[in-house]
Amino acid sequence: MTSTATHPRLQIGNASPCPRARRMRRVWYGLLALAGGVMLLVGTGLAPRGAAAQICTDVEPCMAQLQFGETRRAREFAAKILGERNDPKALPVLTKALQSDPGEFVRANAATALGLLTEPLSIDALLAALKDDPSELVRGAAGEALGRFMDPRVQSPLSAALAADPDHGVRAMAAESLGRIGAAPALPALTTALAGDARVEVRVAAARALGAIKAPGGLDVLKAVLGQDADARVRGAVADTLGKVPGDAITEILVGALQADTDRGVRLRIVRALGERRRQEPVAVLIETLKSDPALDVRRETIFALGKIGGSLALDALRYFAEKSVHQDLRKAAQQTLADLPQGGAATSPTKAS
């Protein structure tokens, strides 16, 4: 199988995925469904080539094909269809395929299908695959599947995989799953990965997971990474995370990073995070950013942030730029932001939010 489909969540910035990561992406996901971010195994390299292998469309024929199919591709396809059909009666054959099929793609498809079923009876088999399967493809698929279970049994094994799995794709998937289930007990494992994992993909996934959990702990690590990580993608992900974490100290951390970071993409994300927090404290710094940041897109994002924050000082700056900015893009952005405010920005009161 030689599909060029990519994993939509591990592709970070302009980084080129390694061959192993590309293989994992083919197995774990097909297309990202538009509703709810549910990953469905449709298209993109998971279906076997050739009409002869695609011989089942319903649950019972696919169960038989998964058990007795003579070719690996036929069994891969059967596992994929069973995941789409979401019928609990397929649980035993999918579990057996995960445990014993010789094809790693078959086992990975079975793991993903079990995750879509979300039957608690499959958790033990998925945990065993995450820990012991020799294929990183299967361990990654099992880690992704476990992230669909709101079950306390999955938290510790996912944390262990994040800390110790030899494959960076599996570690990143474990971090994402911990974020998806909101596993606050995983905070130590996530902060350790964010601060110390050698791979950018894992550090970014850990930062995103911390943002999803929204736990106030780990602030010192987040602050240190935002100021020190050598990779702008990681610093940007941390900025996104800090924008979601409650607490008075967060604004000060973000403002300091906005003034110090040399990467325009990171500054843009910090500005966006400050706007979403809707606090008055950073308004003066945001106005200075609007006046002097060398990147036009950062300045434009600052206009939107000031509109969200409101208050007389922010509105005065927006009115000035709406009338007198030498940059047409900034004038239009300020004009539209004012127009979108209540009474066209004629009056607003400062907003307080965490």
Q: Please, what are the domains in the chain?
A: 246-354 (1.25.10.10)
Residue ranges in the chain assigned as alpha helix (H):
19-28, 59-68, 72-85, 91-100, 104-117, 123-132, 136-146, 155-164, 168-180, 187-196, 200-213, 219-228, 232-244, 249-260, 264-277, 283-292, 296-309, 312-324, 328-340
| Exposure on the CB side of residue 343, measured as CA atoms within 13 A | 6
pLDDT at 244: 84
How confident is the model at residue 16, as a pLDDT?
A: 42
Q: Are 12 and 202 in contact (CB under 8 A)?
A: no
pLDDT at 26: 45
Contact call for residues 296 and 323 (beta carbons, < 8 A): no
In the prediction, which pLDDT does 184 show?
Answer: 86
Half-sphere exposure of 173 (CA within 13 A, CB side): 31
Which pLDDT score, from 0 to 100, does residue 55 have? 79
- Name the nearest CA neighbour of 142 among 186, 165, 99, 112: 112
Helix axes 155-164 and 187-196, enclosed angle (nearest 10): 10
What is the pLDDT, as a whole number, of residue 123?
98
DSSP 56: -
Using only the alpha carbons of the chain, give its radius of gyration: 24
The pLDDT assigned to 344 comes to: 60
Going residue by residue through the chain (354 aa), what tens digit of pLDDT does each one get?
A: 333 333 333 333 334 444 444 445 444 433 222 223 333 333 333 444 444 456 799 999 999 999 999 999 999 999 999 999 999 999 999 999 999 999 999 999 999 999 999 999 999 999 999 999 999 999 999 999 999 999 999 999 999 999 999 999 999 999 999 999 987 889 999 999 999 999 999 999 999 999 888 777 777 888 899 999 999 999 999 999 998 887 778 999 999 999 999 999 999 999 999 999 999 999 999 999 999 999 999 999 999 999 999 999 999 999 999 999 999 999 999 999 999 998 765 444 444 433
Token pair 């000035």: residue: 320
Q: Three-state SS for 287?
A: helix
pLDDT of residue 213: 85
Query: CA torsion, points 33, 31, 104, 157, in degrees to nearest 10?
Result: -40
User: Residue 326, SS3?
Assistant: coil
